Structure 1
């Protein structure tokens, strides 16, 4: 959800022998994404239990869970790993690539609209050697497998994307222009920057107040988001719900702008119902309700209320 503060923690930090320069480079990677002016914010956190992103430096390749998949991983387990020096030129690119995964980017070379045709025997042999040493099923999952056309949004193909692997000559049959390979990305591409700002635009400086028992019309198009501030007068359980012909994700946070904490959420996308949840709110505390529209149909009008 746009506006979410994401906290990241090093499970094996400087106290466990990881060079401070390595940690600093990862900090810089998060900062580079945030400095694009997006609505997401990244904050270092010492407590793994309070972190959505948990980072290790094990000799296990470099990888990250994608988007909200991170939230389903146990608090003692990593959601991201860097398996080589992140301060090297290739390592700097890797840092930004894995952070891209954590905020919902998939591999660009798996873009179903790219039209890439692989020389699969050569690709499996190449990825099965060092430094990856991948078995065929890993190469298939990370490279050959195409993403579903109904699960992606973005450009037709951006070979300069930070989410694209570099490939040597002879691994791609088509497009013919890339038979000699695709260079490794050197940083965030212009399209990377364009789309991350589209999905996580800067937040409005002001939020409307949502009052109990008063519905608010959302008036959102697909992909758009509404944000409301709630300061209840009574401490009690409240019900939250959306209404209308729409798929909406609804998430509640508590705290200040700089330290919002996830409370609960509901996603009715793809289901023939409206989202509902019940939660206790405390008088005088500040809450933020964020709603993102996925799709509308019928009358296309959707609203939200709490009571």
Structure 2
């Protein structure tokens, strides 16, 4: 996103997204199976409660009003009816997302589950300009969009953008960004794999799209004069986020010990099951069948769902398996999100 200048124009100062991690997949993995894993791996399991904490109270950007804009941005995504929840916490150790306001750091956020790889004393989201302006509010939406799993839209391989590479490096290498070549490549010129993006079209109106001045884009010709800033969520933004995180209305099905529950899922879909153990002891929860699945367990507490443990068996010829101690009459939710199936395509979940 761009930072606004004091005179109301837009300065080309951008979100410097850190490089995304990719799962290391076996070279003999089928293309369909690899694509499914790459498509899903950065997304959260739907229904996850994402906890965010502020590491400062506005830093050198401003005061409490900066924090309010981040809160409003999370709420804007939630107001679409998505299944994710957002909860502010005071202890950074209890958070997946940690926010700082530092002008010299610029604006950036880790993407989706990459947030989990960052130490709990380190920020995962930074803001480098005032969030109370129109552009600042859009920046807050953009960075929170990264946090829930969305990458830069102009790096969509279906955009068909041909850059004036030398001019892009020259423009971003100078003030106010002063980016080295690798940052410019990672955030502007590098195209995502087709396996990493949903759908087959580019949305230039997306909140995840940068605005660009004239002369940087060679093709499509209509954008040689630049791309105007996106100041809110586009229709496609709303469609995509609801595709990945649909509303959770139904109560999870109760799963009994040694009961095999079939999972009839498409790529990216998930099934939720309630577990209420009759004894306090060690249990195993696992999937069966030829599938790549991320399996997670949460405890349903008065303060909401709290993460217990998870297992991701993607790209491996084994089934997801959790082994953990469950407490009698406590309520838990097991969630299985599918990457892909092969063979018979029949899979199931059981706990014992």
TM-score (normalizing by structure 2): 0.85
Shift, 1:129, TM fit: 2.1
| Structure 1 counterpart SS, 2:340 | strand
Which of 182, 186, 190 lines up with 1:137 in the alignment?
182
Q: Residue 212 of structure 1 aligns with which residue? A: 257
Shift, 1:155, TM fit: 4.5
CA deviation string 1:198-228 (max 9, x = no partner):
0000013311101111110011112211000
Distance 1:124 1:265, change over 3 A: same
Structure 2 runs not aligned, ≥5 long: 1-44
Tell me the distance in 2 between the aligned counterparts of 1:21 and 1:229: 40
C-alpha contact 1:12 1:18 (8 A) present in aligned 2:
no
Aligned residues: 307
| Structure 2 counterpart SS, 1:93 | helix
Q: Residue 14 of structure 2 aligns with which residue? A: none
Tell me the distance in 2 between the aligned counterparts of 1:278 and 1:145: 40
Q: Is 1:30 paired with 2:83?
A: no
Structure 1 ranges of 4+ moved more than 4 A = 14-18
Shift, 1:90, TM fit: 1.3
Tell me the distance in 1 between the aligned counterparts of 2:310 and 2:163: 41
Q: Is 1:227 paired with 2:272?
A: yes
Moved more, 34-43 or 201-210: 201-210
Tell me the distance in 2 between the aligned counterparts of 1:250 and 1:41: 19
Structure 1 runs not aligned, ≥5 long: none
TM-score (normalizing by structure 1): 0.97
Which of 206, 211, 216 lines up with 1:171 in the alignment?
216
Bigger relative CO (Cα 8 Å, ≥ 6 apart):
2
CA deviation string 1:54-80 (max 9, x = no partner):
000012010000101101111110000
Which of 99, 106, 109 lines up with 1:55 in the alignment?
99
| Structure 1 counterpart SS, 2:304 | coil
Q: Residue 195 of structure 1 aligns with which residue? A: 240
Shift, 1:16, TM fit: 9.2
1:1-307 → structure 2 map (5 Å cutoff): 1-13=45-57, 18-59=62-103, 60-256=105-301, 259-307=304-352
Distance 1:257 1:68, change over 3 A: farther
Distance 1:222 1:76, change over 3 A: same
Q: Indicate the RMSD between aligned Cα atoms, in angstroms.
A: 1.5
